[in-house]
Amino acid sequence: MNVLVYLLPIALGLGLVGLLAFLWALRSGQYSDVEGAAQRVLADDDLER
Amino acid sequence: MAEALDLSLYAKPAGDGTLGMDVAVEGIACGGCIARIEDAVKRLPGVTQARLNFTNRRLHVAWSDDVIKPAQILQTLETIGYHGHPFVPLRAEQEEAAEARRLLRCLAVAGFAAMNIMLLSVSVWSGNVTDISPETRDFFHWASALIALPAAAYAGRPFFASAWQALRAHSLNMNVPISLGVTLALAMSVVETAHHAEHAYFDSAIMLLFFLLVGRTLDHAMRRKTRAIAGNLAALKGETAHRLVDGELVGVPVAALQAGDRVLVRPGERVPSDGVLLSGTSEIDESLITGETMRRKIAPGTTVYAGSMNYSGAFTLQVTTPGGATLIDEIESLLEKAASAKSHAMRLADRAARIYAPMVHTTAALTAIGWLIAGASVHDAVVIAISVLIITCPCALALAIPAVQVVASGALFRCGVILNSGDAIERLAEADTVIFDKTGTLTLPEARVVNAGDIDPVLLQKAARLALSSRHPLAIALSREAVVRTPFDDATEQPGRGVWVMLDGSEARLGNAEFCNVAQPAANERGASTICFSHGGRSANIMISQKLRLDAAEVVNSLAKLGLDVRILSGDRNAAVRPIAEALGVSQWLGELKPAEKIAITESLREQGRRVLMVGDGLNDAPALAVAHVSLSPIAAADLTQAQADAVFLGEKLAPVLEAVLIARRARRLMSQNLWLAAVYNAVAVPVAIIGWVTPLIAALAMSGSSIIVTLNALRAYRGRRS
């Protein structure tokens, strides 16, 4: 069972990365306009017109 | 004359040499509007950033100074078909945004911790029935403790802080048993882990926090959204005042006025601020302030109040108290008294907590004593007592009410009702008496033609089209009847008398009787104002008056059918109130009431044990709104009145009042259903816990299960007619 000694920290570390990613997204304002984001993804503003 | 518009009040320097402004935008219908608005604004010279927030319909613009004026941004919006008004975000809104982010961070931490602890717990549970070694189990338990303790300390703060506040005020709220349960569960788990026990309760404690935070976050998000929309509506209502600076007129937002400023008020405009008349004479309509529809004559030296409508002449005003934030002294003092006397209806959740919390704590204590008497060791007795506490932790109970509130306020929002206070739904459901104000509430906020049926339609249309050329309030009311919306060319207005134009070879005149050369119309008892029209030897007296909201009769009828006692209390003359009351079939009405009398009546009804729903819009209603059990206000109401109301409704119809009552009653039913569900869950779970059979697995399953059932039941509050 010695494998747990490093597997467990790895599993927790991965979860922690997800948590930090969420906190970063929150801090950079990505949750301030969720409806707008849903609409913007449909806009073709990246195409040449 | 094109008047300069000075919006510099709203432009805030951003630090990097640019200016920033927030604009509430009206008319956004779909996602396509985002690109249209942003592209158009970005094309303006000097604009460095334009970002539309689709959730709260607000545009943030940044531009380098001196290249464009803020007013140009609004003009650009007008040209592509949107109406915008700049605003300064309220401090309360900023604080709420910060609180929302705090809750989300807590939620994220609790979610992360709950997932990882569950991972460890599931291993322990399956290991306990197979062949886990005590060392591995201890290792897993200590790992859980390592995650759970800091996570709970961080994510539990909203609950601990509120519980501590309640305890310091010598009262109990729902957060007290929650905090106690979580703390005890964690403490016991640490002790158990140190003693190499089979079970630890880290998972239950963290799951509990996670579920509760989900409820809080949703509740908060919904309230924030409705608050933002209400803020936009207030900004869009914001009017411009014409300030006289060195003899020149400059348009400024009303919020920028300062004491001592001189302001020009033209006919057909609202008085932007309280002040004293310097020059000019006019008649003003103070119905928004007193409910009185009869106009008052004003002359230099008279004091006028913000919100009055200027009828006949232009006048100059010296601002005494800026921003229109003041009101008549009498109303102010009444309002103070009313606010302090307001019975604080205890919220359902807190009422439940007050019964529930002591019961849970007593049960747990009795369990421990019972097991001790039965001969169990102190350790076992304490463990069982704490498991009782954990399993009864009011997870479902704390979700039962917020979940319904979130869903119901969403349903209300769709019907055009915006809530100001969170517990208004409960109080709305309890109302058994409805008091309506007349002017602006039962009637439309603007006057309309009332005798259109008696006038030759051709003549009426000519009059209405001619009225488009005048800014007189009566003419504006008449012009709403016009089918052709283009004014006649060459129409000339004689201020204070009327407007005329050459039409088909003869003069058409619209104005007072003298101006139109017709006999003075007889005074009519309905309190309507008359405007005359003559053309080619024919003439008509057009009566303009407050008109009932289209569905007023229907709504009053339905409210009565629901068992509500409908009454009318008005500050207007009896002669004006009687026909309205008769048309609506309301037998209990009173007119000519002063604000103090409205309060007295509302209070006496309360003393009779009635729960009064007050619907009103005028400044004279504000104190009564504050005294009433629950209150509603139309969006056109005076600002202060809206601030007092528990909810604001939109649109020209009265139907939202009825919808609000219906939705609130359904929500209330669901709330008590949910409380019963939670009670049944406890009735089953508590005996099992007392016997000592509860393992952490059962506790976790039972708590999540009951939370999910309660949440699903709450979703039923969303059904409602779309209007």
Question: How far is the C-alpha of B93 from the C-alpha of B98, rounded, in Å?
Answer: 9
More confident residue, B1 or B89: B89
CB pairs under 8 A between A and B: 55
**Domain hosting residue B542, numbered range:** 445-548
The H-or-E segment that residue B248 falls in is strand B248-253
Nearest-CA distance B94 → chain A (Å) = 12
Verify that B516 and B528 share a domain, yes or no.
yes
In terms of domains, do B499 and B544 share one?
Answer: yes
Look at residue B166 and tell me if it is in a domain.
no
Q: Is residue B191 part of a domain?
A: no
Q: Are residues B535 and B584 located together in one domain of the fold? A: no
Q: Same structural domain for residues B540 and B465?
A: yes
Query: Which CATH number belongs to the domain containing residue B635 in this structure?
Result: 3.40.50.1000
CB neighbour burial string for B590-603, b if at least 16 within 10 angstroms, e if fewer: bbebebbebbebbb
Are B35 and A16 a contacting pair at CB < 8 A?
no
Whether residues A35 and B52 touch (CB distance < 8 A) is answered with no
Of B31, B101, B109, the CB nearest to A42: B31
Tell me: do B459 and B605 sit in the same domain.
Answer: no
Supply the pLDDT for residue B198.
82
Look at residue B471 and tell me if it is in a domain. Answer: yes
Name every chain A residue with its beta carbon within 8 A of the beta carbon of B133.
1
CATH number, domain of B2, equals 3.30.70.100
| Together in a domain, B568 and B485 | no
Q: Could you tell me which of B486, B433, B469 has the C-alpha nearest to residue B614?
A: B433
Domain with B289 in it: what CATH number?
A: 2.70.150.10
Q: Give the residue, B351 or B153, on which the prediction is more confident.
A: B153
Q: What one-character DSSP code corresponds to residue B3?
A: P
State whether B654 and B514 are in the same domain: no
Return the SS3 of B631: strand
- Taking 60 as the threshold, does the pLDDT of residue B177 lie above it? yes
| pLDDT attached to residue B108 | 95
Residues B563 and B660 in one domain: yes
* Strand partners of residue B85: B24
Residues B581 and B536 in one domain: no
Cα torsion at B310, B315, B318, B321 (round to 10°)?
Answer: 0
CB of A45 less than 8 A from some CB of B: yes
The DSSP bridge partners found for residue B24 are: B58, B85
Name chain A contacts of B221, Cβ cutoff 8 Å.
Answer: none
Cβ contact A1–B52 (<8 Å): no
CA distance B664 to B644: 19
Whether the per-residue pLDDT at B593 is higher than 70: the answer is: yes
| Residue B236's pLDDT band (cuts 50, 70, 90) | low
Which residue of chain A comes nearest to B136, CA vs CA?
Answer: A1
> What residues in B contact A38, CB-CB < 8 Å?
31
Decide if A30 touches B, using CB distance below 8 A. no
Strand order in the sheet with B492-494: B443-449, B538-548, B529-535, B506-511, B498-503, B492-494
CA–CA min distance A20, chain B (Å) = 9
Residue B389's H or E segment, with its range, is helix B378-392
Span of B365-369, B385-389, B556-560 with lowest mean pLDDT: B385-389
SS3 readout for B291-344: CCCCCEEECCCCEECCCCEECCCCEEEEEEEHHHCCCCHHHHHHHHHHHHHCCC
Of B34, B105, B116, the CB nearest to A40: B34
Interface check A47 vs B, CB under 8 A: no
CB contact under 8 A, B104 and A26: yes
Whether B70 is covered by a domain: the verdict is yes
Answer for the pair B475, B532: CB distance below 8 angstroms, yes or no: no
More confident residue, B218 or B541: B541
Which residue is closest to B135 within chain A, CA to CA? Answer: A1
- In chain A, whose CA is at the least distance from the CA of B146? A12
- Say if B673 falls within a structural domain: no
Q: Which of B305, B326, B347 is the last residue of a domain?
A: B326
The model's pTM: 0.72
Q: Tell me how far apart the alpha carbons of residues B574 and B581 are, in angstroms, rounded to a whole number.
A: 10
Do A12 and B108 count as a contact with CB atoms less than 8 A apart? Answer: no
Q: Could you tell me which residue, B610 or B218, shows the higher pLDDT?
A: B610
Of B490, B523, B548, which residue constitutes the final position of a domain?
B548
Is the per-residue pLDDT at B636 higher than 80?
no
Task: Specify whether B520 is located in the same domain as B562.
Answer: no
- A12–chain B nearest CA distance, Å: 7
- Answer yes or no: do A39 and B31 touch at CB < 8 A: yes
pLDDT value of residue B279: 85
Residues B553 and B433 in one domain: yes
Domain end residue (candidates: B284, B302, B326) = B326
Q: Do B55 and A35 touch (CB under 8 A)?
A: yes
Residue of A3, A17, A23, A27 to mutate, interface with B, max B Cβ within 10 Å: A23
In this structure, are B486 and B617 located in the same domain? no
Residue B682 in any domain: the answer is no
pLDDT in tens, B287-309: 777 767 777 888 888 888 877 87
Residue B473 CA to residue B445 CA, distance in Å, equals 13
Of residues B625 and B717, the one with the higher pLDDT is B625
In chain A, the residue whose alpha carbon lies closest to the alpha carbon of B142 is: A8
Is A32 part of the contact surface with chain B (CB cutoff 8 Å)? yes
Least confident of B67-76, B126-135, B384-393, B474-483: B384-393
Q: What are φ and ψ of residue B15, in 5° steps?
A: 105, -35
- ipTM of this model? 0.88
Tell me whether residue B243 is in a domain: yes
Rounded Cα–Cα distance for residues B376 and B691 (Å):
12
B456 is annotated as an active-site residue: no
High-pLDDT (> 90) share of chain B, %: 12
Contacts of A45 in chain B (CB under 8 A): 35
Of B694, B599, B611, the C-alpha closest to B331 is: B599
Q: Please report, for the domain that includes residue B482, its CATH number.
A: 3.40.1110.10
Q: Which of B203, B437, B617, B621 is catalytic?
A: B437
Nearest to B447 by CA among B467, B473, B468, B483: B473
Matching residue, tokens 């307001």: B342
Task: Identify the weakest region by mean pLDDT among B515-524, B559-568, B620-629.
Answer: B515-524
Which of B55, B96, B117, B121 would you mutate first to test chain A, the one with the most A CBs within 10 A? B55
Q: Which two tokens stand for residue B153?
A: 């300390």
Range list of β-strands (E), A1-49: none
By Cβ distance, the residue of A23, A35, A45 closest to B35 is: A45
Within a domain: B645: yes
Asked whether residue B71 carries a pLDDT value surpassing 90, the answer given is: no
Give the count of domains, chain B. 4
What's the rounded Cα separation, in Å, for the pair B419 and B430? Answer: 16
The mean pLDDT of chain B is 81
Torsion of the alpha carbons at B342, B347, B351 and B354, rounded to the nearest 10? -90
